[in-house]
Amino acid sequence: MVVGTLTVDVDVLVIGSGPGGYVAAIRAAQLGKSVVCVDKAEVGGVCLNRGCIPSKALISAAHRYESALQGSEYGINVGDVKVDWAKVQEWKNGIVKKQSGGVGTLLKGNKVQFVSGEAFFVSDSVVSVATESDSTQYKFNHCIIATGSRPIELKAFPFGKRILSSTEALSLPEIPKSMIVIGGGYIGIELGQTYAKFGTKVTVLEGSDTILPGFEKELSRYVGRSLKKSNVDVVTEALAKDAKQTDTDVTVTYTVGGEEKQVTADYVLVTVGRKPNTDELGLQAIGVKMTDRGLIEVDHQGRTSVPNIFAIGDVVPGPSLAHKATYEAKVAAEAIAGQPSAVDYKAIPAVVFSEPEIASVGLSETEAKEKGVNVFSGRFSYGANGRAQSIGANEGFVKLVGDKDTGLLIGAQIVGAEASNLIAELGLAIEMGATVEDISLTIHAHPTLGEIVMDASEVALGHPIHIVVK
């Protein structure tokens, strides 16, 4: 790396340090490249600082609180249970700080230079990075864009003191008495359900006919029942029109079934999707092709229309998932190093950290049938599993979808405790070309939730042990 007074020459410049950016920087460095990683905010990006990690910390805290309240069911009386919200936030922030510091250590340990600043393309080989004190130009051989996304802001619901994005909702100074969630996707349900567990009266307004519209209704139905138990009002096919704010609350006007209604709460949380951070990089001027939505068009290695510039994660087409960004990061870095790596989206798991959790990978039975696959499937309930009963997690099921002509596992859906962890086995099975019989013949430890996967495979094959087939 040659450093001059105004210009730094570098093999690979990575813009963004989230789960795509920092992984791309480390992998490129491992492959012998000199690497600079730039981010205008904290190391770790949105996922680590204002998304995945802090939200899961709050979800975990909410579960612990709920478990303490329900301890008497297990013969455990803990007395007067109270939430120290300041302590909850302190604990959550401590996890974020530790994780961010860990990523910084990984970058440093792999000899990746991290620069805090805002990047802008001067040409197809030069990026200007403005910091608080100066501006430096980086001349690169290759660049990887990993700038992620941000919450969509609705014109009628501008973010402010009472109207929040997911970022502000993670750091509220107090537990709200009431909250309106606009959008019943995974972010809205996760955060809305978390605050409901802490005692907030939550109303969810969802435009489609079901919450979690990206998942099979037989999965989201369980979450809907759980929301009802937590006294959450879910209004589907609802169109939020406007909001009127005061110093203490906000009133949302919405229509449902042709009727106009209103609901008032302390806060409104808007979770209607995210938009890619591509609009302030100067990409159009250097000829990088993008879609109408601002997503960057890439090939099977993450290469853009400008051959030495790559893009990964939320800024390219496909689901906005941290693990997808991480996967694409390794492919892009290896492609830059001359390796024949290419993306293969055969099995990207999707997870909702709701109550109960939802996870899916591969094709659903509906999707498989639409593709003309000769389908067979097997489903087994949590309630029939000893481990599930022993931890009070009777709600849910595991469903496996196979190709009857080949016996191959082509999809899996789970709703229930630890679904986020159980789905990994099934993703691996699909990736390696395992059959449903392979899962049946794999010895699963007892007593574990993993046995539900084995039992579901036996149902699919027609010889279940732990249920009676009529």
Q: What CATH number corresponds to the domain at position 42?
A: 3.50.50.60
Domain span at 203: 163-272
pLDDT on residue 39? 97
pTM of the model: 0.94
pLDDT single digits (tens) 299-353: 999 999 999 999 999 999 999 999 999 999 999 999 999 999 999 998 999 999 9
What confidence score (pLDDT) does residue 6 get? Answer: 65
pLDDT above 50 for 20: yes
How many of the other CB atoms lie within 10 Å of CB of 91?
14
Q: Is the pLDDT of residue 15 over 60?
A: yes
Residue numbers annotated as active site: 446
Task: Please report, for the domain that includes residue 424, its CATH number.
Answer: 3.30.390.30
Between CA 203 and CA 177 the distance in angstroms is 12
Residues 6 and 126 in one domain: yes
Residues 266 and 297 in one domain: no
In a domain, 466, yes or no: no
Mark whether 101 and 204 lie in a shared domain: no
In a domain, 303, yes or no: yes
Residues 434-453: pLDDT tens digits? 999 999 999 999 999 999 99
Are 102 and 28 found together in one domain?
yes
User: Are 99 and 219 contained in the same domain?
Assistant: no
261-266 average pLDDT score: 98
Structural domain count, the chain: 3
Q: Is the pLDDT of residue 4 over 80?
A: no
Domain boundary among 248, 272, 296: 272
Q: Tell me, yes or no, whether 131 lies in a domain.
A: yes
Can you give the pLDDT at residue 282? 96
Question: Do 43 and 103 touch, CB atoms closer than 8 A?
Answer: yes
Count of C-beta atoms within a 10 Å radius of residue 125: 17
CA 252/CA 369 separation, integer angstroms: 41
Binding residues for FAD: 56, 147-149, 314
The pLDDT assigned to 78 comes to 86
Give dist(CA 72, CA 204) in Å, integer: 30
Among 242, 272, 302, where does a domain finish?
Answer: 272
Residue 137 domain flag:
yes
**Is 469 within the bounds of a domain?**
no
Q: What are the Cα distances from residue 374, in Å, to 112, 390, 410, 414, 427?
A: 50, 37, 11, 21, 20
Same domain, 33 and 139: yes
Q: Is residue 350 part of a domain?
A: no
Residues 255 and 281 reside in one and the same domain: no
Q: Is the pLDDT of residue 1 over 90?
A: no
State mean pLDDT over 182-190.
97
Model confidence over 228-257: pLDDT tens digits? Answer: 999 999 999 999 999 999 999 999 999 999
In terms of domains, do 453 and 362 share one? yes
Let me know if residue 374 belongs to a domain.
yes
Residues 291 and 420 placed together within one structural domain of the fold: no
Q: Which residues of 146-172 are buried (b: 16+ CB within 10 A; e: fewer)?
A: bbbbbbeebeebeeeebbbbbebbbeb
End residue of a domain, out of 288, 307, 336: 336
Q: Is residue 89 situated within a structural domain?
A: yes
Taking residues 116-130, what's their average pLDDT?
96
Same domain, 379 and 415: yes
Residues 146 and 14 in one domain: yes
Same domain, 103 and 200: no
pLDDT in tens, 391-414: 999 999 999 999 999 999 999 999
3 pLDDT above the threshold of 80: no
